[in-house]
Amino acid sequence: MACAAELTIESEHLNAFWDSTLRRYDEIPLNLKREPAESPFPGVTVDKITYYGADDTPIHAWFIVPQQAVADGKRFPCIVTFPGYTDDRGYPERYASWLLLGYAVFAVDVRGQGGETGNYLPERAGSVKGWVSSNLLEPEGSYYFAITLDAVRAVDAAAAQPEVDPARIASVGGSQGGGLALISAALNRKVTAVVADIPNLCHMDHGVLNSGSSLSEIAQHLKRYPEQLEPILHTIAHFDMLNLASRMTAPVLMSVGWKDGVCLPETIYAVYNRIPTEKVIFDYPFSGHEINEYQNRERIYFLQKHFR
């Protein structure tokens, strides 16, 4: 019965929570800073961006654009991309395929994980190895709250760049990055297309019980503190795309691997079925937790269609 608590969170409460939060953060400056960075690519401008997300933590990102088109005053479609769990934004070369398509790229770190972005979030109680079990008893103080607002404000930071066409902004990622791509689009209407491969943040109560993802950290926490099950499920319900799918307005591309033991197929289908917008999902019966070359090409076709 406890695990049903997440699924039955009142939509009125959830919408009020997020509407109030987003109004409050609309009034908080991004404190954007932009400075040149090195790149081995000729003809490409790479800048390092910092902005403030959910708190005073400086969130680091790359902003990458083709140099000549910038000189011509052109505005670009922009890919806002998020990394998988424990990863970071990497080097600018990671995004060469998007640049070849003539897109700008805004590539973001996730706080506290593998990149150079730190985490000013105070720890109010102990947590298990990893990040996601931090402050699980309070929705607004949790690590999930912080990374969600960081992702939402990443879209704002990308849209604020003068080279970006604000009518063509896509949120893109896989695994953790896919979950952040979805939730940033659910909470920020500036996103006009979404690519969410093998995403997490989907049917999270089921994932806590069954997956080998970052949600297993919550399972370990609950193993130690079983009396906290109800409040923890209530907290993570605020970030579960199963509950936020109805807020989606942009077209969505998703993928799912039937042998994926990390982001489980049943969790991804549950969210996909609730998305009310134009959507397509690619099913890979023989794939695990991976994004194959076929799917990479489908991502290109999908964004070419919606950036046309």
Catalytic residue among 156, 260, 287, 306: 260
Cα–Cα distance for residue pair 79/99, rounded to 1 Å: 10
CA distance 41 to 271: 39
The answer to whether 192 and 250 have CB atoms below 8 angstroms apart is: yes
CA 268 from chain centre, in angstroms, equals: 15
Report the alpha-carbon distance of residue 216 to residue 8 in Å, rounded: 22
60 an active-site residue? no
Q: Which is the catalytic residue, given 127, 134, 142, 175?
A: 175
Binding site, by residue number, is 85
| Rounded Cα–Cα distance for residues 32 and 49 (Å) | 7
Residue among 306, 223, 219, 290 nearest 256 (CA): 290
Long-range own/partner contacts, residues 228-231 (CB < 8 A, 24 or more apart): 228/136, 228/137, 229/2, 230/2, 230/5, 231/136, 231/137
Q: 10 Å Cβ neighbour count for 126?
A: 10
Reference 163, options 57, 74, 263; nearest CA is 74
- The residues, any chain, with a CB within 8 Å of residue 24's CB and separated by 6 or more, are none
Measured CA distances, 123 to 78, 126, 176 (Å): 35, 7, 22
Place of tokens 């489908």: 298
How distant is the alpha carbon of residue 258 from its chain centre? Answer: 22
Backbone angles phi, psi at 230, to 5 degrees: -60, -50
- List residues forming the annotated binding site for substrate: 85
> Catalytic site residue 175?
yes
Residue 47 tokens, joined: 């800048």
Q: Which residues are catalytic?
A: 175, 260, 289
